[in-house]
Amino acid sequence: MNSAVPSSRFTKSRALFARAQGSIAGGVNSGIRNMEQPVPLYFSHGQGSRLWDVDGNEYIDFQLGQGALLYGHAPAGMARAIAEQAQRGVHWAAQSELEIEVAERLQRMIPSAERVRFNSSATEVVLAAFRLSRAHTGKPLILKFEGHYHGWGDEGLVGFASPPDRWGDDEEPARLHPSAGVIREVLNQFVVARWNDADHLRRRVAQHHGRIAAIVCEPCLCNTGCIEPAPGLLATIRELCDAEGALMIADETITGFRFGSGGAQARYGVTPDLTILGKAIGGGVPFAALAGREAVFAKIIQGEVVHAGTLNANPLCLAASKWCLDTVLGQGPHHPKGLTELGRTLMRGLSDLAAQYQVPLQPQGPGLVFHTTMRKTGAETGGVHDYRDYVRRHDAPRWAHLRRCLLESGVRAIERGLWFVSLAHSATDIDEALRRAESAFARHATEWIA
Ligand SMILES: Cc1ncc(COP(=O)(O)O)c(C=O)c1O
């Protein structure tokens, strides 16, 4: 049986979800949350690596607020920092010394962050980065890669989740958008390329020679599988940007602070012109930043490019962020070694269970974040290398079934198959997660009929 029997363990979540339909459009506040099976869960509290739903079920959490909770759930120091700030004021829409303290920490941690600006979400920062790139270079086009996610705005979602019957040939990926209601002309301002094919990228850039304002990427593609850049790819992007007079934008919303205090750019040894920071910069509060070269910020500094927001540099978020950045700095130069080791142990354990129960599950990624691809029958083994390869090989319904079995065994991964590890996870958590996962694999192997 492929759809598991409705279980009584989610009674209260089911009731709340039914009630929510009467007031919240579709019952959830972000479309993706509807993906959670058998029902979008309602949570009561979290602590460290653990999360409890309203029915009292406990999870070892690897969803971690879609990666924002690098420090785990409800870290005491962060809660204190926010509470202390709240006594002094929750919002000013004006300057505070705190914003300089956070900005100076970013400069220390990320060498390319000569100047920064704050927003409340990475989606907004992406829009600012694209606008600034066009104004700075005087060129119209943004080149982005298929399957890379840059927020939910009209501009950020071009070329994300393109369906195979419309995605165009390998040489000219189509400029598709997954949402209705998008301003059509926006699509014409983009060039879409496949990830991890440097020769293809060179040809794509040559086709639009002189018209590209920026090339944007997730330096490690975490939103479709977990696909690291092929050796030399990021250097090729840098080289092409320099040759074209275009800006290189690293979207480090996921990788920032997780891949080390200097992010993925430090890990892979590349210097972008602009960096998008989100998620772990705020540890779960709505906080994000644009960072980059001072010269590139000139048009914002001079006021020619509008960058604004009532809640920008909100003091509660700044207090949280200062605590987060100090926590990363406090990890010392070896960060993210601990995260990587825990994640790799988990990946190995999942691979072993997959082999034991003959489930074609393939973990892929650097460990501190990874993805579990469920291979379709007959699909080749080995690393997934780009979006098309991922769609062709990943059996989403089968993964959804295993994910549900894991959830009901107390292990919570992201609906799409991504797993994060936090600084609050321990080796004991990983051992326990693998023990719980064993019963999930056993159940999946019994229930799943291909
Ligand atoms: C790489 C990347 N960029 C941008 C965003 C958008 O961030 P936010 O949801 O804070 O707007 C996300 C969110 O998942 C992301 O993963």
Residue 356 vs residues 45, 297, 353, 438: alpha-carbon distances, Å: 34, 54, 5, 9
Distance 425 CA to ligand 1 centre (A): 23
The answer to whether residues 264 and 354 belong to one domain is no
Confirm whether 2 is domain-assigned. no
Going by alpha carbons, the residue nearest to atom 12 of ligand 1 is 151
Instruction: For residues 13 and 99, state if they share a domain.
Output: no
Which ligand 1 atom is at minimum distance from the Cα of 121? Answer: 10
Ligand 1 pocket mutation, candidates 69, 253, 265, criterion most atoms within 8 A of CB: 253
Q: How far is the CA of 121 from the centre of ligand 1 (A)?
A: 8
pLDDT over 80 (residue 47):
yes
Distance (Å) from CA 148 to ligand 1 centroid: 10
Distance 9 CA to ligand 1 centre (A): 31
Q: Are residues 172 and 275 in the same domain?
A: yes
Residues 181 and 313 both lie in one domain: yes
User: What's the gap in Å between 431 CA and the centre of ligand 1?
Assistant: 30
List, in sequence order, every residue forming a beta bridge with 73; answer none if it has no partner: 48
Amino acid (one-letter) located at 343: G
What single-letter amino acid sits at 42? Answer: Y
Report which of 115, 107, 128 is spatially closest to residue 325, judged by C-alpha positions: 107
Instruction: Report phi then psi at 119, rounded to 5.
Output: -140, -175
Q: Is residue 1 part of a domain?
A: no
254, 255, 418, 420: residue to mutate for ligand 1 pocket, most atoms within 8 A of CB: 254
Write down the mean pLDDT value for the chain. Answer: 97
Q: CA-CA-CA-CA torsion for 389, 434, 281, 97, nearest 10 degrees?
A: 180
Same-domain status, 276 and 394? no
pLDDT of residue 2: 53
Domain assignment of residue 360, yes or no: yes
38 preceded by a cis bond (ω within 30 of 0): yes
Which protein residue's CA is at the shortest distance from atom 8 of ligand 1? 122
Please give the sequence-ordered ranges of beta strands (E in DSSP) within 120-241, or none if there are none: 141-145, 190-193, 212-217
Query: Which residues touch 258 (CB under 8 Å, ≥6 apart)?
Result: 67, 70, 280, 336, 339, 368, 369, 420
Q: Which of 330, 350, 384 is the last residue of a domain?
A: 330
How far apart are the C-alpha atoms of 38 and 405, rounded to whole Å?
10
Q: Where are the alpha helices (DSSP H) in 165-209?
A: 184-187, 198-207
Measured CA to CA, the distance from residue 360 to residue 372 in angstroms comes to 10
> In this structure, are 253 and 391 located in the same domain?
no
Q: Measured in angstroms, how far is the CA atom of residue 43 from the centroid of ligand 1?
A: 22
Residue 52 lies in a domain: yes
Pairwise CA distance, residues 74 & 79, whole Å: 7
With cut-offs at 50, 70 and 90, classify the pLDDT of residue 450: confident
Q: Which of 2-6, 164-168, 246-250 has the lowest mean pLDDT?
A: 2-6
Which residue range is the domain that position 358 belongs to? 8-74+336-447
3 has pLDDT over 80: no
What are all long-range contacts of 336-340, with beta carbons under 8 Å and residues at least 24 apart? Answer: 336/258, 336/259, 336/260, 336/368, 338/423, 339/258, 339/367, 339/368, 339/421, 339/422, 339/423, 339/425, 340/366, 340/367, 340/368
Res 10 pLDDT > 90: yes
- Looking at the structure, do residues 84 and 168 belong to the same domain, yes or no? yes
Residue 337's Cβ-side half-sphere holds a number of Cα atoms within 13 Å equal to: 4
Q: Are residues 90 and 67 in the same domain?
A: no
CA R_g for the chain: 22
- Tell me, yes or no, whether 45 and 108 share the same domain: no
Q: Which atom of ligand 1 is nearest to the CA of 252?
A: 1
Are residues 226 and 143 part of one domain? Answer: yes
How many domains, the chain? 2
Q: What is the pLDDT of residues 424-438, one digit of tens each?
A: 999 999 999 999 999
CA of 107 to the centre of ligand 1 (A): 22
For ligand 1, what atom is nearest to the CA of residue 67?
Answer: 14
Domain end call among 295, 330, 365 = 330
Q: For the segment 285-314, what is each residue's pLDDT rounded down to a tens digit?
A: 999 999 999 999 999 999 999 999 999 999
Q: Is residue 324 a contact partner of residue 133, using CB atoms and an 8 Å limit?
A: no
Residue 240 lies in a domain: yes
| Residue with CA nearest ligand 1 atom 13 | 151
**Atom 5, ligand 1: residue with shortest CA distance:** 151
The answer to whether residues 343 and 272 belong to one domain is: no
Phi, psi of 248 (to 5 degrees): -100, 125
Scanning 245-302, the segments in alpha helix (DSSP H) are 263-268, 298-301
State the Cα–Cα distance between residues 48 and 72, nearest whole angstrom. Answer: 5
Q: Whose Cα sits closest to atom 7 in ligand 1?
A: 122
Q: Which of 33, 119, 123 to mutate to test the pocket of ligand 1 (most atoms within 8 A of CB)?
A: 123
| Global pTM value | 0.97
Q: Look up residue 8 and give its DSSP letter.
A: G
* 363-391 per-position pLDDT tens digit: 999 999 999 999 999 999 999 999 999 99
* Ligand 1 pocket list (CB less than 6 A): 66, 121-123, 126, 149-151, 218, 223, 251, 253-254, 278, 288
For the stretch 327-353, pLDDT in tens is 999 999 999 999 999 999 999 999 999
pLDDT per position as a tens digit, 83-99: 999 999 999 999 999 99
For residue 122, report the distance from its CA to the centre of ligand 1, in Å. 5
User: Where among 280, 298, 330 does a domain terminate?
Assistant: 330
Atom of ligand 1 nearest to the CA of 126: 4
Per DSSP, the three-state class of 211 is coil
Closest ligand 1 atom to residue 156 Cα is 4
Residue 344 is part of a domain; what is its CATH number?
3.90.1150.10
Q: Collapse the DSSP code of 340 into the 3-class scheme (helix H, G, I; strand E, B; otherwise coil) and give the result.
A: helix
369 plus 325 within the same structural domain: no
88 lies in some domain: yes
Mean pLDDT to the nearest integer, 116-129 = 98
Q: How far is the CA of 3 from the centre of ligand 1 (A)?
A: 31
Ligand 1 center to residue 439 CA distance, Å? 33
Is residue 389 within 8 Å of 197, Cβ to Cβ?
A: no
For every residue of 348-413, DSSP letters joined together read HHHHHHHHHTT--EEEES-SSEEEEEEBPTT---S---SHHHHHHHB-HHHHHHHHHHHHHTTEE-
- Is residue 239's pLDDT more than 70? yes
Instruction: Say whether pLDDT at 5 is over 70.
Output: no
pLDDT per residue over 175-205, tens digit each?
A: 999 999 999 999 999 999 999 999 999 999 9
Ligand 1 centroid – CA 382 distance (Å): 28
Answer whether residue 3 is part of any domain: no
- Is residue 253 domain-resident? yes
CATH (domain of 324)? 3.40.640.10
Q: Output the residue whose Cα is nearest ligand 1's atom 6.
A: 151
Q: How far is the CA of 149 from the centre of ligand 1 (A)?
A: 7
Phi, psi (5° rounding) for residue 220? -120, 120
Task: Provide the pLDDT confidence category of residue 1 given band limits of 50, 70 and 90.
Answer: very low
